[in-house]
Chain A
Amino acid sequence: MSTAEDGRLMAERGFWTDTGKTGIGAWIFSTDHKRIGLLYFYSVLFFFLVGVILGLLMRIELMAPGRDIMGPQTYNALFTLHGVVMIFLFIIPGIPGAFGNMVMPIQIGAPDVSFPRLNLFSWWLYAIGAVLVLTSLFTGGGAPDTGWTFYVPFSAKSATNVSLALFGVFVLGFSSILTGLNFVTTIHRLRAVGMTWSRIPLFTWSLYATAWVQILATPILGITLVLVIAERMLGTGLFDAARGGDPIMFQHLFWIYSHPAVYIMILPAMGIISDIIPVFSRKPIFGYKMIAFSSLAIAAAGSLVWGHHMFTSGMSDTAVLVFSFLTFIVAIPSAIKVFNWVSTLYRGSISLDPPMLFALAFILLFSIGGLTGLILGAPATDVHVHDTHFVVGHFHYVMFGGTGFAFFAAMHYWLPKFYGRMYRKRPAVIAWCLMFIGFNVLYMSMKVLGMRGMPRRYYDYLPEFAQLNLVATVGSWILAAGLAIMLVNLFRGLFRGEAFTGNPWGGATLEWSTTTPPPTLNFIKEPVVTHGPYDFKALADDSPDGMPGDGRNQ
């Protein structure tokens, strides 16, 4: 295959050899979407690991009743920091910032995003926001202790350095808005010839739906946080009932953003799964249109359900009823996706490579998380489990079991493409196994504890909860061990593994048709799209760019 040989030589190390700038400047001042994606990737991975360490520390404190390794104030600071880091520095920017940037422009056949410099700026805002949040730990009155939700009246009164943390999150919001703006424009304007709306890969579709939520909902978070800062600095009394304000209004404003934010977290994850499942089942996705449509439906309907976080807040009963009803409606498009994935698997020719294993774990864990969400969405049951460890178990299932595992799936699926090297599969499978077991031991115990009445955000508990808490803590160690093996194996593979050039998974989306690693402007020849994203038959018939269509057996 001489054409393949040519392509290989021309793009030996692809965008890695693009040497306009040198040293670290080639990264932090680069406007190449792949470099920005990798910048984001390593930043969010760093903060993920920070968050994990905080989580493990909390679990050690909860290992046995009484004070183990820290006092209550430290515990308060830890769960706040853990929450803020995981939500605002890992999971919201995570998939769009890292894999969205890396993969999306290639998937639609574009040379870059519409506004490359704005893209770089969004990473800078992320970095600045992160530094501000971290600075708040060591300055002023010390690490914030409000929880990641910053509820008033406590957040207006706490003597800790809440204001700076709020401002940091405010800045992070702008980073998110810019990413959204960039993605909407790119997907509308920069698609390659032949990339019709019904040929857009589902990962890109999910980013599109997410981007709209980022643009429309994030400003509300920004304003809300500024109002709390104003309350603290100027004593505006907006949220102070004694002066005619309304503390519940804060909860409304906060959740108007933060519930849609859970869709910013989960939609791109669903997109990853929709892209991975067909490739490893060797079958076109079942219900392409419905999956794309349900992303938009989730984004729209999901914006109207924020009140389900407030059933016990003193909100009016009529509002409770309405928000509960709307919440049950959002379950429908989510279930559509799950059924479509399972139908895609049905009678497929399934290969259990690491990305697929993580994707399968996603389906199960997300379903458990989603279904327990309905328990919380029904006011009668929510009243009992609100603010217990049941909630903590629930959202870890959705956010970690869902988005976290999808992130790992994406790491194993796409990163080799960008490094041109493959990791070893056996250790990856072992790591997956450990993580899956550890995860369930950890969070299922938390759910049971919550149902039995153990509240969240306390550093201590009644003696009858001791046993399961010990089990949960052991689970967290199994999980951490799996995580460590996974990362070591993956990065060892990416930096020193076997080099490859073809299409290791046999994917039919555009990113697999360009050279490995992709060249600076993504394609040596401008691509023309002639088939859908999951049309494996067409892929076998014609291999674009002269690349081998299915590099599975290389």
Chain B
Amino acid sequence: MTAQPHEHNIISFRKLAAVWATLLVLTAATIAVTRFDLGGLKVIGALTIACTKAGLVIAFFMHMKYENRLLQILLFVAVVTLAIFIGLTFFDVLYR
């Protein structure tokens, strides 16, 4: 196997640990949000936290922050596609 050697993206242990801790805090936040009666905001709150967590995982654990432009654009396209699909689906629920 002749994988390209990665020179620049060895993330320090400290940084990884910080991300991990943030994820834990956000998980706690997810549970905390359910305790309050936020009405419609509840869904938005939960989704915001979830998206932030997913973003952190992708950026650091999956190295996307250090990858080249093309890969980032491709990921972006995939995410936008998914957002459109989910958006149109929610659109139905919203007006039902």
> Which residues of chain B have C-beta atoms less than 8 A from A252's C-beta?
89, 92
* Interface membership of B88, Cβ < 8 A: yes
* Interface membership of B81, Cβ < 8 A: yes
* Interface membership of B13, Cβ < 8 A: no
Known: A249-B89, A307-B88. A216 touches B95 (CB 8 A): no
When the two chains form their complex, are residues B81 and A318 in contact, meaning their CB atoms are under 8 A apart? no
When the two chains form their complex, are residues A216 and B92 in contact, meaning their CB atoms are under 8 A apart? no
> Which residues of chain B have C-beta atoms less than 8 A from A248's C-beta?
92
Known: A316-B95, A316-B96, A318-B95. A216 touches B81 (CB 8 A): yes
Number of chain B residues whose Cβ lies closer than 8 Å to a Cβ of chain A: 12
When the two chains form their complex, are residues A315 and B92 in contact, meaning their CB atoms are under 8 A apart? yes
Residue from A256, A303, A314 within 8 A of B89 (CB atoms): A256
User: How far apart sit A248 and B91, CA to CA, in the bound complex (Å)?
Assistant: 13
* Interface membership of B84, Cβ < 8 A: yes
Known: A216-B78, A322-B91. A315 touches B85 (CB 8 A): no
When the two chains form their complex, are residues B95 and A220 in contact, meaning their CB atoms are under 8 A apart? no
User: How far apart sit A256 and B89, CA to CA, in the bound complex (Å)?
Assistant: 9
> Which among B78, B94, B95 has the highest number of chain A CB atoms within 10 Å?
B95
- The tally of CB-CB contacts under 8 A between chains A and B is 36
Residue from B78, B84, B96 within 8 A of A315 (CB atoms): B96
User: How far apart sit A303 and B80, CA to CA, in the bound complex (Å)?
Assistant: 13
Hey, what's the 0/1 contact readout for B49-84 against A, CB within 8 Å counting as 1? 000000000000000000000000000001001001
* Interface membership of A190, Cβ < 8 A: no
> Which residues of chain A have C-beta atoms less than 8 A from B96's C-beta?
314-316, 319
* Interface membership of A317, Cβ < 8 A: yes
When the two chains form their complex, are residues A316 and B88 in contact, meaning their CB atoms are under 8 A apart? no
When the two chains form their complex, are residues B95 and A319 in contact, meaning their CB atoms are under 8 A apart? yes
> Which residues of chain A have C-beta atoms less than 8 A from B78's C-beta?
216
> Which residues of chain A have C-beta atoms less than 8 A from B92's C-beta?
248, 252, 307, 315-316, 318-319
Hey, what's the 0/1 contact readout for A508-535 against B, CB within 8 Å counting as 1? 0000000000000000000000000000
User: How far apart sit A466 and B95, CA to CA, in the bound complex (Å)?
Assistant: 43
User: How far apart sit A249 and B90, CA to CA, in the bound complex (Å)?
Assistant: 10
* Interface membership of A470, Cβ < 8 A: no
Residue from B84, B93, B95 within 8 A of A304 (CB atoms): B84
B81 CB, min distance to chain A CBs, angstroms: 6
> Which residues of chain A have C-beta atoms less than 8 A from B91's C-beta?
318-319, 322
User: How far apart sit A95 and B41, CA to CA, in the bound complex (Å)?
Assistant: 48
Known: A316-B95, A318-B95. A220 touches B85 (CB 8 A): yes
User: How far apart sit A552 and B88, CA to CA, in the bound complex (Å)?
Assistant: 53
User: How far apart sit A29 and B20, CA to CA, in the bound complex (Å)?
Assistant: 44
User: How far apart sit A182 and B94, CA to CA, in the bound complex (Å)?
Assistant: 39
> Which residues of chain B have C-beta atoms less than 8 A from A256's C-beta?
85, 89
> Which residues of chain B have C-beta atoms less than 8 A from A319's C-beta?
88, 91-92, 95-96
Within 6-53 of A, Cβ neighbours of B (below 8 Å) are at none
A80 CB, min distance to chain B CBs, angstroms: 26
User: How far apart sit A316 and B84, CA to CA, in the bound complex (Å)?
Assistant: 18
Within 231-251 of A, Cβ neighbours of B (below 8 Å) are at 246, 248-249
> Which residues of chain A have C-beta atoms less than 8 A from B93's C-beta?
246, 316
Within 292-350 of A, Cβ neighbours of B (below 8 Å) are at 303-304, 307, 314-319, 322
> Which residues of chain B have C-beta atoms less than 8 A from A253's C-beta?
89
User: How far apart sit A315 and B91, CA to CA, in the bound complex (Å)?
Assistant: 10
> Which residues of chain B have C-beta atoms less than 8 A from A318's C-beta?
91-92, 95
When the two chains form their complex, are residues A317 and B95 in contact, meaning their CB atoms are under 8 A apart? yes
> Which residues of chain B have C-beta atoms less than 8 A from A249's C-beta?
89
| 22 pairs of residues in contact across A and B, judged by CB atoms under 8 Å | A216-B78, A216-B81, A246-B93, A252-B92, A253-B89, A256-B85, A256-B89, A303-B81, A303-B85, A304-B84, A307-B88, A314-B96, A315-B92, A315-B96, A316-B92, A316-B93, A316-B94, A316-B95, A316-B96, A319-B91, A319-B92, A322-B88
Interface residues in chain A, defined as those with a beta carbon under 8 Å from any beta carbon in chain B: 216, 220, 246, 248-249, 252-253, 256, 303-304, 307, 314-319, 322
Supplied contacts A307-B88, A319-B88, A319-B95, 19 more A-B pairs, CB within 8 Å: A216-B81, A246-B93, A248-B92, A252-B89, A253-B89, A256-B89, A303-B81, A303-B85, A304-B88, A307-B92, A315-B92, A315-B96, A316-B92, A316-B95, A316-B96, A318-B92, A319-B96, A322-B88, A322-B91
